[in-house]
Structure 1
Amino acid sequence: MAGRPREFDRDLALQQAMLAFWQHGYEGTSMADLVAATGLASARLYAAFGSKEDLFREAVARYEEGDGAFAEKALQAGDVRSAVEHMLRDAVLTYTRRGRPQGCMVVSAATNYAAANEPVMSWLATHRKARTQSIVDRIAAAARDGELAPGTDIQALGDYYAAVLHGLSVQARDGVGKARLLALIGPALAPLDAALR
């Protein structure tokens, strides 16, 4: 009598796939890598998640609900300076965490790509643009609430903090340590401090 197949833990498999994609990017993660990371045969992975692209999209959603959720939470802080400061600090702590890939999965998973993967890369770009917009929206709300001086360039300030956020990911990926990254937050807040009423 044949033995029963090993129980399949879909959640654990998704977690392991997320870490593989986060570490090696979309194109850099092969099906063989995903098989090795999850311990599941490729047929089982396809049956559970569909294509590699479907698995990647689900892995990104998991990242954004877990490790990557810090920005959304931070932007809800009471005043705009605290919100931006918390976002940058929590980014550093997330991007340099031991036992995790360095940097942001959404930033680092797809910088260069083959033409065949254009739809995946465009999809990731919409996620990065949405983060930028959420920062701009938070600064706009602060301006409406009278926290910022009249005439503050809300778009430029929001774009600047999105660039800092994404830059932190690249720096962390390149091995710049937590202490150095935390040290740049003070100077990075100077434009916002100058705009506060």
Structure 2
Amino acid sequence: MARPIEFDRDEAVKRATSAFWECGYGSISAGELVERMGIAKSSFYNTFGSKTDLLREAIASYTRDRAAALQRSTRQSNVLDVLRHLLLNVAKRNDDGKGCLLVNTAVELSKHHPDMAEVTRNGFSEMAMTFEALIKAGQEDGCIRADLNAKQQALILVTSISGLRVMAQSGFLAKEMQPFIDTVLQPMEC
């Protein structure tokens, strides 16, 4: 009979997500992951299978958390203001220099690992669906143009944010990227 899990799985996944986000996939060993997760090596393999399987779970968790945080932020401000703040925050801070786990993983692994390309594509698709729902809510509230195709604009946002993150990691300043941010948001403005 299998032994019961003796650790908080969600907490372990959060720690792994943080480790992958900070270090990337290739730069962190399974041993270092185990240490950062605070679990036994046998628990790691028995629970998560492999480092790659854990990365899949970490990306899914990261994406869910990001989508939920974005949805929560629109409760306090209109959608267009939330989107402007998000883009400016990416340009200024880019998650304290860590970038985006989806973008980082896509850049690092997707070219040579088709399964990771699918995982990151699913994450980007989930974020696009979140943006689409937010855009539709903004259209209903009257802060975003009603004639805008929400699905297309959502994909434009995901693509733009990904590019913005890469540019920020490359050292471009927020003031240099301000015209790009204005261009991305301009079609949505009423």
TM-score norm. by structure 2 comes to 0.69
Unaligned runs of 5+ in 2: 1-5
| Aligned match of 2:182 | 189
1:1-197 matched pairs, under 5 angstroms? 10=9, 13-38=12-37, 40-66=39-65, 69-76=68-75, 78-92=77-91, 95-97=94-96, 102-113=98-109, 117-149=113-145, 151-174=147-170, 176=171, 180-181=173-174, 184-185=177-178, 188-190=181-183, 192-193=185-186, 195-197=188-190
Displacement of 1:21: 1.3
- Tell me which amino acid in the other structure corresponds to 2:59: V
Displacement of 1:10: 4.9
Report the 3-state secondary structure (helix = DSSP H, G, I; strand = E; otherwise coil) of the residue aligned with 2:99: coil
User: Structure 1 residues 72 and 44, CA, compared in 2 at 3 Å: closer, same or farther?
Assistant: same
User: Structure 1 residues 76 and 41, CA, compared in 2 at 3 Å: closer, same or farther?
Assistant: same
- Tell me which amino acid in the other structure corresponds to 2:79: V
Contact between 1:75 and 1:84, CA under 8 Å: does it hold in 2?
no
User: Matches of 1:52 and 1:108 in 2, distance apart?
Assistant: 16
User: Structure 1 residues 123 and 65, CA, compared in 2 at 3 Å: closer, same or farther?
Assistant: closer
Contact between 1:75 and 1:87, CA under 8 Å: does it hold in 2?
no
User: Matches of 1:182 and 1:80 in 2, distance apart?
Assistant: 22
TM-score norm. by structure 1 comes to 0.68
State the identity as a percent.
25
Report the 3-state secondary structure (helix = DSSP H, G, I; strand = E; otherwise coil) of the residue aligned with 1:95: coil
- Tell me which amino acid in the other structure corresponds to 1:127: G
Displacement of 1:102: 0.9
Q: Deviations over 1:32-87 (max 9, x none)?
A: 44245346553331123222233223322443355675433335555332131133
User: Matches of 2:52 and 2:44 in 1, distance apart?
Assistant: 12
Number of aligned residue pairs: give it: 185
CA-based RMSD: 3.7
- Tell me which amino acid in the other structure corresponds to 1:103: G
